[in-house]
Structure 1
Amino acid sequence: MSAGTTTGGDRSRRGRLAERYRRRAPGEPRAVGYLYILPALIVYAVVLLFPFGQSVWLSFLHWDGLTRASYAGFSNYTQLFTDPDLRGAFWHAIVLLIFYSVIPVCIGLLLAAAMSRIRVRGMTFFRAVLFLPQVVAMVVSGVAWRAILAPDGLLNSVLRGIGLGSLARTWLGSYTFALPSVGTIGAWVGMGLCMVLFLAGAQRIPKELYEAARIDGAGAIREFFAVTLPGLRLEISVALTLTMISGLKNFDVVYVTTSGGPGTATTVPAYELYQRAFQTNQVGSAGAIGVALTVLIFLVTLLIGRLVEGKGEGKRA
């Protein structure tokens, strides 16, 4: 009787253990998993989190980088709204998002839709040429475009050669055309990335959807909006995120082409940060610009993710 009771108790205990194991989430114990990623977390903290925390601390100080610092409170952050140069820099960054993000995404969608429907020889070479700006450093692209947009550069020479000399401009030296010219460089660089992303996404869209759309009498335009565009929702999210981050943190193209000029017509937050930190010795103000730019990029990324996630849930519903 005692042995039977003991055996029954062991079975009951084993049953409870087995039930607890079945209820446990996959991958438990999770503490072991954290040990695997601990080296990467340490590197991430040292390389990124610690410098960012130091920038946050410096943003609350008045400091020229050499002498003793004094506490500034939130004055460096209020300066972001009261200083016309800083307001203009953030406004220029928002304008550049049209060139760095909206235009490349739209052109990439059109190119991907056309390439997925048309089969011609040399298409691989054409894709490689469009993607080439992605493998070239932005500084190199900026220097090349500075030569193209120079007063005696290729663009003006072509305009004069075809009888449109009246359209020739000092593109990078004009208060009106300098910012769009810088934005054109960003659009040229980002277009190939968007196209490759969308082409890869178009290949996973089931062909049956296109066939069903054609049976329903859909033309090329309706097929694009009814099948291709919804099928590329995730790729569009990735493209918007990458291109918007690139546009907001833009520095190198502005530095090598216009240096923020003429005047302050092409200044952007990252360039203002550089100027204040290393040229005018306003380290606290530069820290505030860096923190504000980081928060802005985070909010933009979060907003894009929320919008895409919301559309995905609505579609599944």
Structure 2
Amino acid sequence: MRARQAVGDLAARYRRPPGAPRAVAYLYILPALAVYALFLLFPLGQTVWLSLLHWDGLSAASWAGLENYRDLLTDPALRAPFGHALVLLLFYAGLPVVLGLLLAAVLTRFRVRGMTFFRTVFFLPQVLAMVVVGVTWRSILAPDGLLNDLLRAVGADSLTRSWLGDPTWALPSVGVVGTWVMTGLCVVLFLAGVQRIPRELYEAARVDGAGAVREFRTVTLPGLRGETAVALTLTIVAGLRNFDLIYITTSGGPGNATSVPAYEVYRRAFEINSAGSAAAMGVGLTVLIFTLTVVVARLVEGRKS
């Protein structure tokens, strides 16, 4: 009787649905969770703790409480980098996604030959190290660089300027570099997404008399919602985490016209020895990135439903 009951219990255990939680599953994810906690959660906790202190990185720290966060909200010098980062999102996320959608639609509708070549060319900036990109564009945008030489060659001498040294044009100039880097990623994502849209939808739209614009609006754009969410998430994170390009091209200048949170964290921690303020800014940047990515995901899920 007991044997029969044991067999029945064993059979019932294995009749559980595949997704049912089992204690042994946590043993499989425990090593990954331990690595995640050691290299991400623990440093994050340390950063939050440092943000509550006044510390120069060398001498004894003193308690600051929420003073560093209050300064982050009230001090214009600390708020400005976040404003610059939000402006750069237009160049890092907005323009690349729009251009990527348009280029993917054109390349798909007109069946351009050599699609692999075009994908490689568009994706090439993603392969290059950002240091290489920064050095190259710093040379192009220099007062005696290629861009000003081209403007002089066509007789537009009045448009020449020190693009990275002008407080008005420095931030948009860095933003254009970001657009050049991120557009290729968006194009490749959208080209891959277009291939999974059923061709019958395009044929039905054309039979119905839809032109290129209507076909893009009613077929291509709705079919690329998932890819659009991925592209926005990746480009937003890249724009807000931007450090190396700023460091190589402008070092936050002229003045603080191109200072962004990631660069300001470095400057405050290692140049002016204000580790507590740098940690608070790092936490603020993390919260901003998390908030924007959640908003993008929620908007896409809401439209799908």
Q: How big is each residue's C-alpha offset from its partner over 1:225-244, in whole Å with a ceiling of 9 and x where there is no partner?
A: 10000000000000000000
Alignment correspondent of 2:70: 78
Counterpart residue type for residue 240 of structure 2: L
Give the aligned partner of residue 274 of structure 1: 266
2:52 paired residue number: 60
Residue 96 of structure 1: how far off its partner (Å):
0.3
Change (3 A) 1:29 1:123: closer
Aligned residue in 2 for 1:299: 291
Tell me what 1:114 maps to: 106
Deviation at 1:72, TM superposition (A): 0.1
Alignment of 1:232-311 (within 5 A): 232-311=224-303
Shift of 1:251: 0.7
For structure 1, the 5+ residue unaligned runs are: 1-5
TM-fit CA distance, 1:18: 5.0
Which 10-residue stretch deviates more, 82-91 or 235-244?
82-91
One-letter identity of the residue aligned with 2:27 = L
Q: Distance in 1 between matches of 2:8 and 2:303?
A: 44
1:198-245 per-residue CA deviation (whole Å, 9 max, x = no partner) reads 000000000011111111111110000100000000000000000000
Out of 143, 147, 152, the position equivalent to 1:151 is: 143
Secondary structure, aligned partner of 1:266: coil
Offset of residue 129 of structure 1 = 1.0
From the superposition, tell whether residues 28 and 148 of structure 1 become closer, same or farther in structure 2 (CA, over 3 Å).
same
Which residue is 1:181 aligned to? Answer: 173
Show the counterpart of 1:3. none
Q: CA deviation at 1:30?
A: 2.5
Distance between the aligned counterparts of 2:89 and 2:185, measured in 1?
Answer: 16
1:26 deviates by 1.4
Decide which moves more: 112-121 or 284-293: 112-121
Alignment partner of 2:42 out of 50, 55, 68: 50
How far, CA to CA, are the matches of 2:243 and 2:171 in structure 1?
A: 13
TM-score w.r.t. length of structure 2? 0.95
Unaligned runs of 5+ in 2: none
1:132 aligns with 2:145: no
Shift in Å, 1:197: 0.2
Question: Among 156, 161, 170, which residue is 1:169 paired with?
Answer: 161
219-228 vs 77-86, which moves further = 77-86
| Structure number with larger C-alpha Rg | 1
**Secondary structure of the residue that 2:164 maps to in structure 1?**
helix
Aligned-residue offset at 1:126: 2.1
Q: Report the AA paired with residue 84 of structure 2.
A: H
Aligned to 1:88: 80
The alpha-carbon distance between structure 1 residues 285 and 118, as it changes in their structure 2 partners (threshold 3 A), is same
Per-residue Cα deviation, 1:248-272 (whole angstroms, up to 9, x for no partner): 1111111000111111100001111
CA distance in 2, matches of 1:17, 1:125: 58
Tell me which amino acid in the other structure corresponds to 1:256: I
Percent of aligned pairs with the same amino acid: 67
TM-score normalised by length of structure 1: 0.92
Deviations 1:62-105 (CA, angstroms, capped at 9, x unpaired)? 00011110000100001111111111110000000000000000
Q: Which one of 206, 214, 218 corresponds to residue 222 of structure 1?
A: 214
Q: Which moved more, 1:240-249 or 1:162-171?
A: 162-171
Distance in 2 (alpha carbons) for counterparts of 1:44 and 1:147: 40
Letter in 1 for 2:290: F
Does the residue aligned with 2:183 lie in a helix, a strand or coil? Answer: helix
SS of equivalent residue, structure 1 residue 172 = coil
How many matched pairs? Answer: 305
